[in-house]
Structure 1
Amino acid sequence: MAAGAALCGGNAACRGVAQGLGASSPACAQRRSGVEVRHKLVWALAWISAWLLLTVAAAVALGTAELQRLRERFEADARVVHRLLSLRAVEHETILATLALLDVPGADAAAQRLPAIYPRVLAVLRREGNLPWGDAARAEALASAEAASRRAGRAWGLVSELGEGRLWVVQASDQASHALRIDLAGMVRAAEWPFAGMDAVRVELSHAGHRWVIQPGAAEQGGWRFQFDKPLTVRSQPFDVVAERRVGWSELPWAYMGAAAALIGGVLVGAALLQQQRVARRRAEELLRLGQRGRLNAMGEVAAGMAHELNQPLTAILASTRAAERLLRDDPADVDAARGAMKAAGEQARRAADVLSRLRRIMERPGGADRIEAVDLRAAVDGALHLVEPQLRRLRIQVRVQGQGTPIVMADPVALDQIIHNLLGNALHALEQVPEPERRLSLTAGAEARDGWLLVADSGPGIPPALRARVFDPFFTTREGGLGLGLSLCETLAAGMDGRLELAAAGDPRRVAAGMPGAAFILSLPLRHQP
């Protein structure tokens, strides 16, 4: 096999190799491991993007769940407030009804003791007949509320002092009318208040533009707002219970979000490691498949080589044995000459045995049937680069893939894989012999006339002029331990697909454009759409 073959390819998706159209710039050649860096960067960005998306999704889900929990709790507490205030309003009507029923001599003195029982009742007024109300400043308003209560047949609320936290409730009666002055701040005891200590909650009573703030709440900028607005069930005190809850960013479950981000990161790291293992396993399986197919195809080359190599010793053996037979038939028999002829036959037999011993190094494994179909030549190159990606990284080889268009050729995909992979192996072996900064590999795809072509050139030591004519001969190799069948097999496979594999001439424009000083091979295959 030639010492400086160059190229790489395959039919799997290329990962980790920079590609581009047209000639490469000098900066590309000087950039050490630029392809590998780009591959790792794209790979890392993909996983980081997945982590960010999943983390954001988890954070949104956790935040939404927390906001829903806070809303449900707020609404439950607001309903408790509404029930408490409704009960207190009902108590006000009950007190007035009781005063009306118990309006007997001496009841007025008992009514004045109500504030001791109900601290929120600040004053109790009683008006009998045409006498005025005891509070001269509010006599007119109380009289108006009394008239409204008489017409409605129920207690009537006077909300003109709502902004001061005071409420008058008037109950008209035939014998005497009564009025209660209520301190709204005392309607709910602190032990019963569900929003105690919650600065983010505001609660107020409102009616017809009047408003009394029970709990002011702290002003919160930004965030979310929950609202509750429901009127009391007592018609004499028709207030709306308005509650508002502000949720700031600090109340979101940041600890759970951080834990979710860490968990997602751990899962993705594990998935990335598994993905790398799967890629490595697929690469190994593909290399094994190519090796098995190569061994089977190599048997044809071995058979051809054996026919050539064994023909001469077998012919010599036949001639020597016949000569010995004739010498022994002579009278007298020439035993010494016959012995020399048999010795020559033995030497030729040993030569044949040497040829057969080389066959033992080939392991026969069955392969798939040949099939000719349309194959994307650039995709085949990408796949082969993927298979040898670990070697490219290990040897720190700068790879450049270029060309114009995407040639679609008619070929056996497996045979094409074998050819490109074999050329890649030769190129890697050649590049091991040059200093690391000089290790460059160029692959160029194109089409002309009826053929699509692929040029593979490297910056290795090249092929000596005296050996160029023998690189495709069976069993010819300059590699220590090599069998010498690789390029011969590749040439046979290319010919079987109506193509050809040749060593690029020094003046070939395609080789000149590649700008590589080492070996260069050109694989040509029929295009799918021929002019």
Structure 2
Amino acid sequence: MGWLLAWIIAAGGGAGWLAQQRLQALNEGFQTNARIAHRLLSQQLVQHDAILATLALLQPQLSPDAGANATASDLARLYPQILGIAQRRADQPWPAHWPSTLDALEQQSRRSGHAHMDASRLAAGTLFVVQAGQPASYALALDLRAAVPTEEWPYPPSHSPVRIWLTQGDTQLLLQPGAPEADAPGWAWTQTKTLASPSQVLDLHERYKLHPRLLPWGPMLAWALVCALGLAGLRAAWQQRTARLRAEQLLQHGHVARLNTLGELAAGLAHELNQPLTAILSSSQAARRLLDDREPDVDAARQAMGQAAEQAKRASAVVGRLRRLVERPDTVAATQAVALQTLVNDALHLLEPELRQVQVLQTVPAPLPPVHSDPIALQQILHNLLLNALQAMEALPPAERRLEIAQTRTGAWVQLCVQDNGPGIAPEVRDRLFTPFATTRSQGLGLGLTLSENLAESLGGHLRLIERPALRGACFELTLPLPAEHAQP
């Protein structure tokens, strides 16, 4: 779960950064294009003011046909958005099909000195602008859609996702529809600015609707894959390191177990062989002395007894060397304060592959004080007990295997029980369970429990088989003394 969380954090963080960079670039482009669009449209509208100011100043004579005035001049070629140019003298009306508000706008223009507009037909794309003059006033009919300079326009009209429109009050004119979902609700970037024309007071609106497809999914997925591969490599390396450390610790425990087992074996052999060999040696030497005083085939008897004595000495020397090698009198076990739970966790960790098909139950009623002991010896005891429990449950289906480890305290002592739900210990084996070479397995040496009992006694405690109703199998109880400072409950 931790590795999955690490992948989610790494992949999500990198993908978020890539998405933020992409959105930042898009936003910067949108802001730049919005400024360009505002500048271009403002220039177009300001040019309308300049045209009207020029006409009012020069006072050219125009035809009553406003449309013909636009097409007959060069203005139509330079400014295709001009639909018509109208001239009105004091004794003439404005064109009949033009808005009736032009008279009022003309009066306003005469008072202010600049042009005024009529936006009543803005929804259809038409705008009228009036500039008062003397003796004649002039007005322009404008197609605002045609006022968009397509060659310089920053947005490709055919496929730009940005929606652009003009508004004047509640009336609006759509200049560019944008993407189909451009006006849909949701997260979007917007820009609203008033065009820079004193007479044509229009607001330019731009809206860029954000869509998930704008995100850099390719790089984001590639980054997630890279994170997955990287974390998979780290996890494999970590598992390999953990497995190596576990193997090294198991090897160390195995080495210690082999040495201790060899020591038990050597001690047993020495105990069993030293006395008979010494008796053979003494008898042989006595026989040789007796034979030295008699005449019957003395040389042959002496030679035979000499060979027996030499063999006895040789056997005694081999046993002595083996005992000295195993006992290592120059080594003293180091004791320290250790927590039983820590040792239990270490032992379970070492046997983790074997315990994967076993349900392990741990019971610790309350935090126990540490014991002052040799951690290597305690680990060896726990390792032997757990290994015996696993071997006792080999005949059970994996789903039925149960292993319980319980820790308790009684006064100045702590107890650690290891119980399995195997077949248990047969009654005829219980009395000799801790006897060297006593085993119920065909390939066992019968020294594991003997070694564990000896180690427990060397630590000031003891190891015994007890009856415990929790599970049906065997239950071994290791009892250890507490240090003096923790002896009082």
TM-score normalised over the length of structure 1: 0.75
Q: 1:102 aligns with which of 58, 66, 88?
A: 58
Aligned position for 1:525: 480
Shift of 1:344: 5.1
Tell me the distance in 2 between the aligned counterparts of 1:214 and 1:354: 108
Aligned position for 2:123: 163
Shift of 1:123: 1.6
**Count of equivalent residues:** 475
CA 1:481–1:455 in structure 2 vs 1: closer, same or farther (change >3 Å)?
Answer: same
Tell me the distance in 1 between the aligned counterparts of 2:284 and 2:130: 145
Deviations 1:248-269 (A, max 9, x none): 3344444444444444333333
Aligned position for 1:414: 376
User: Are residues 1:423 and 2:380 paired?
Assistant: no
User: Are residues 1:290 and 2:247 paired?
Assistant: no
- Given that residues 407 and 527 in structure 1 are in contact (C-alpha distance below 8 angstroms), is that contact kept between their aligned partners in structure 2? no
- Two-structure CA RMSD over aligned residues (Å): 3.9
Aligned position for 2:352: 389
Aligned position for 1:210: 171
Aligned position for 2:144: 184
Shift of 1:139: 7.4
Q: Comparing 220-229 with 179-188, which one deviates more in the overlay? A: 220-229
Tell me the distance in 1 between the aligned counterparts of 2:323 and 2:397: 36
DSSP-derived class of the 1:523 partner: strand
Tell me the distance in 1 between the aligned counterparts of 2:247 and 2:365: 31
Structure 2 unaligned regions, length at least 5: none
- Given that residues 406 and 446 in structure 1 are in contact (C-alpha distance below 8 angstroms), is that contact kept between their aligned partners in structure 2? no
Q: 1:489 aligns with which of 445, 451, 455?
A: 451
Structure 1 unaligned regions, length at least 5: 1-44
- Given that residues 491 and 500 in structure 1 are in contact (C-alpha distance below 8 angstroms), is that contact kept between their aligned partners in structure 2? yes
Q: 2:46 aligns with which of 82, 90, 98?
A: 90
Q: 1:370 aligns with which of 334, 339, 360?
A: 334
Shift of 1:523: 0.8
Shift of 1:223: 4.4
User: Are residues 1:503 and 2:465 paired?
Assistant: yes
- Given that residues 384 and 417 in structure 1 are in contact (C-alpha distance below 8 angstroms), is that contact kept between their aligned partners in structure 2? yes
DSSP-derived class of the 1:204 partner: strand
DSSP-derived class of the 1:514 partner: coil
Tell me the distance in 1 between the aligned counterparts of 2:241 and 2:365: 33
- Given that residues 277 and 316 in structure 2 are in contact (C-alpha distance below 8 angstroms), is that contact kept between their aligned partners in structure 1? yes
- 1:335-346 alignment runs, 5 A limit: 335=298, 341-342=305-306, 345-346=309-310
Tell me the distance in 1 between the aligned counterparts of 2:161 and 2:2: 41
User: Are residues 1:247 and 2:207 paired?
Assistant: no
Q: 2:412 aligns with which of 443, 447, 450?
A: 450
User: Are residues 1:225 and 2:180 paired?
Assistant: no
User: Are residues 1:141 and 2:101 paired?
Assistant: yes
Tell me the distance in 2 between the aligned counterparts of 1:397 and 1:358: 40
Deviations 1:395-443 (A, max 9, x none): x4454444534444403322211111122233344444x3546755443
Shift of 1:350: 6.1
Shift of 1:121: 0.9
Aligned position for 1:125: 86
Letter in 2 for 1:373: A
- 1:29-108 alignment runs, 5 A limit: 45-104=1-60
Shift of 1:500: 1.4
CA 1:221–1:499 in structure 2 vs 1: closer, same or farther (change >3 Å)?
Answer: farther
DSSP-derived class of the 1:197 partner: coil
CA 1:145–1:251 in structure 2 vs 1: closer, same or farther (change >3 Å)?
Answer: same
CA 1:77–1:48 in structure 2 vs 1: closer, same or farther (change >3 Å)?
Answer: same
Shift of 1:273: 2.4
Shift of 1:464: 4.9
Deviations 1:111-140 (A, max 9, x none): 542463232111212234x34542357676
DSSP-derived class of the 1:383 partner: helix
Q: Tell me which of the two structures has the higher relative contact order, counting C-alpha pairs closer than 8 angstroms and 6 or more residues apart.
A: 1
Tell me the distance in 1 between the aligned counterparts of 2:50 and 2:326: 109
User: Are residues 1:514 and 2:477 paired?
Assistant: no
Shift of 1:201: 2.8
Deviations 1:126-171 (A, max 9, x none): 234x345423576763343334334443333333433332222223
- Given that residues 132 and 139 in structure 1 are in contact (C-alpha distance below 8 angstroms), is that contact kept between their aligned partners in structure 2? no
User: Are residues 1:274 and 2:231 paired?
Assistant: no
Shift of 1:208: 3.5
CA 1:256–1:246 in structure 2 vs 1: closer, same or farther (change >3 Å)?
Answer: same
Tell me the distance in 2 between the aligned counterparts of 1:482 and 1:124: 116
DSSP-derived class of the 1:233 partner: coil
DSSP-derived class of the 1:512 partner: coil
- Given that residues 222 and 248 in structure 1 are in contact (C-alpha distance below 8 angstroms), is that contact kept between their aligned partners in structure 2? no
- Given that residues 497 and 525 in structure 1 are in contact (C-alpha distance below 8 angstroms), is that contact kept between their aligned partners in structure 2? yes
Shift of 1:62: 3.9
Tell me the distance in 2 between the aligned counterparts of 1:108 and 1:422: 117
DSSP-derived class of the 2:456 partner: helix
DSSP-derived class of the 2:49 partner: helix
Q: Comparing 89-98 with 190-199, which one deviates more in the overlay? A: 190-199
Deviations 1:246-297 (A, max 9, x none): 1233444444444444443333333332232122112112212323444565
Deviations 1:470-494 (A, max 9, x none): 4444566666666654333322332
DSSP-derived class of the 2:335 partner: coil
- 1:455-494 alignment runs, 5 A limit: 455-460=417-422, 462-474=424-436, 485-494=447-456
DSSP-derived class of the 1:173 partner: coil
- Given that residues 172 and 178 in structure 1 are in contact (C-alpha distance below 8 angstroms), is that contact kept between their aligned partners in structure 2? yes
Letter in 2 for 1:81: A
Aligned position for 1:18: none
- Given that residues 99 and 111 in structure 1 are in contact (C-alpha distance below 8 angstroms), is that contact kept between their aligned partners in structure 2? no
- Given that residues 313 and 351 in structure 1 are in contact (C-alpha distance below 8 angstroms), is that contact kept between their aligned partners in structure 2? no
Letter in 2 for 1:490: S
Shift of 1:205: 1.3
- Given that residues 89 and 237 in structure 1 are in contact (C-alpha distance below 8 angstroms), is that contact kept between their aligned partners in structure 2? yes
| Identity value in percent | 42
- Given that residues 200 and 247 in structure 1 are in contact (C-alpha distance below 8 angstroms), is that contact kept between their aligned partners in structure 2? no
Aligned position for 1:25: none
Shift of 1:245: 1.6
Letter in 1 for 2:335: R
Shift of 1:182: 1.0
CA 1:140–1:198 in structure 2 vs 1: closer, same or farther (change >3 Å)?
Answer: same
Tell me the distance in 1 between the aligned counterparts of 2:221 and 2:331: 53
Tell me the distance in 1 between the aligned counterparts of 2:243 and 2:345: 16
DSSP-derived class of the 1:186 partner: coil
User: Are residues 1:172 and 2:118 paired?
Assistant: no
DSSP-derived class of the 1:188 partner: coil
Shift of 1:459: 4.5
CA 1:501–1:515 in structure 2 vs 1: closer, same or farther (change >3 Å)?
Answer: same
Tell me the distance in 2 between the aligned counterparts of 1:368 and 1:87: 98
Letter in 1 for 2:95: D
